Amino acid sequence: MTIVDTSRQPAAEMSFFTRFIKQVRKVPFSVGFGIAWLAAMVFVAFFADLIRPYGITAMDLRARLSLPGNPAHLLGTDELGRDVLSRLLQSIRVSLAIAFGATIISAVVGTTLGFLAAKFRGAVEHFVLVLADFQAALPFLIMSLAVLAFFGSSMPLLIGLMGFYGWERYARIARGLAISASAQGYAAAVVQLGATPTRVYMKHILPNVASTLIVSMTLTFPEIILMESGLSFLGLGVQPPETSLGNMVGFGREYLTRAPWIMLAPAFVIMMTTLSISLVGDWLRDKLDPTLR
């Protein structure tokens, strides 16, 4: 029979737990709230199909424009008797999916162009910088409005178009950081060891500049949500029967006098989501960005 000392393990767990609690306590309330809200939004985005009480096009014609707060329709219904809560959950999913997809496209394109500029310098660099200037001077909302109206709106086009938004910022940041990183010892060392440029940039430089890029993503993400909802509000973004947050506000506007809840629910979600991302993003920037310390 052997005696197993089990007393150490719970102690270690405790200390890990208390350390975790200490870390959590250091997070300001507003940031904690932002994280909780975003977690809830991500949960909704993944499980919208399972948690929504009705289909998004299911009409309850006897309960049209019913007030929020009744047991059958917690957030009320719209002019066709469709459940506002169910449509809201689906809208969160659609709007977040578009913003997420677009942010990823914009970050990948921008970072790649920035790295190319840093690697090749000369003409390539000038070309990237001129493109970035052009992108910054482009009235983006107006341009996308024209493109969507002329091509007809569809989900891939919308995501692709939003993905063009803000790439120039990643490109500028990635270029600047990569130039200064390649002057440092570690990058020169792996180059000396015979690593291919792809390996140097992906495995060594990218991880070192990632935190700044992630912070820029927290800046473009809410802007893309606002732009998508603006376009959908004007009727040029997400098309019915599919629904998004801006689309709901746009249609709810017609019933502003009789049923303001149709518009208030998605408007509230847009505000809270962009607010949460800004709060968390600001906090992350202070934590991650070494240049601000």
Partner 1 sequence: MLRFVSTRILRALITILAVLTFAFVVLRMSGDPAQVMLGPDVPQESVDAFRKAWGLDQPLWIQYLAYIKAIFTGDFGVSMRDKASAMQLVIERIPATLQLTIPALFLKVVIGIPAGVYAALHRQSAVDRGVILAAIFGFTIPSFVMGLLLVLIFSITLGLLPSGGQDTWQHGILPTLTMSIGGIGILARFSRSAMIEVMGQPYIRTASAKGMPWQDVVWRHALPNAAVPIVTIVGFMVGSLIAGAVVVESIFSWPGIGRLLVVSVTNRDLAVVQCILLMIAATMVVSNLIVDLLYGWLDPRLRAQSAH
Interface residue list for partner 1 (CB under 8 A)? 130, 133-134, 137-139, 141-143, 145-147, 149-152, 222, 226, 229-230, 233-234, 246, 249-250, 253, 256-257, 260, 263, 267, 270-271, 274-275, 278-279
DSSP state of 290: G
Min CB(223)–partner 1 separation in Å = 9
Question: Which residues are CB-neighbours of 257 under 8 A, at least 6 positions away?
Answer: none
Nearer to partner 1, 57 or 278 (CB): 278
Residue 262, judged by CB atoms within 10 A of its CB (0-12, 13-18, 19+), counts as buried
Min CB(250)–partner 1 separation in Å = 8
Min CB(272)–partner 1 separation in Å = 8
Phi and psi at 109, nearest 5°, equal: -60, -50
Which value, in Å, is the radius of gyration of the alpha carbons in the chain? 24
| Rounded Cα gap, residues 220 and 165, in angstroms | 8
Question: Which residues are CB-neighbours of 261 under 8 A, at least 6 positions away?
Answer: 67, 68, 75, 76, 84
Nearer to partner 1, 177 or 236 (CB): 236
Nearer to partner 1, 209 or 245 (CB): 245
| Tokens matching residue 252 | 């709810």
Min CB(257)–partner 1 separation in Å = 5
Residue 66 contacts residue 84 (beta carbons within 8 Å) = no
Nearer to partner 1, 47 or 134 (CB): 134
Strand partners, 77: 83
| Rounded Cα gap, residues 107 and 164, in angstroms | 9
Min CB(288)–partner 1 separation in Å = 18
Min CB(271)–partner 1 separation in Å = 6
Min CB(191)–partner 1 separation in Å = 30
Nearer to partner 1, 90 or 95 (CB): 95
Nearer to partner 1, 176 or 260 (CB): 260
Q: Provide the sign of the torsion angle of the four alpha carbons 237, 241, 245, 246, taken in this order.
A: positive
Nearer to partner 1, 143 or 188 (CB): 143
| Rounded Cα gap, residues 177 and 121, in angstroms | 14
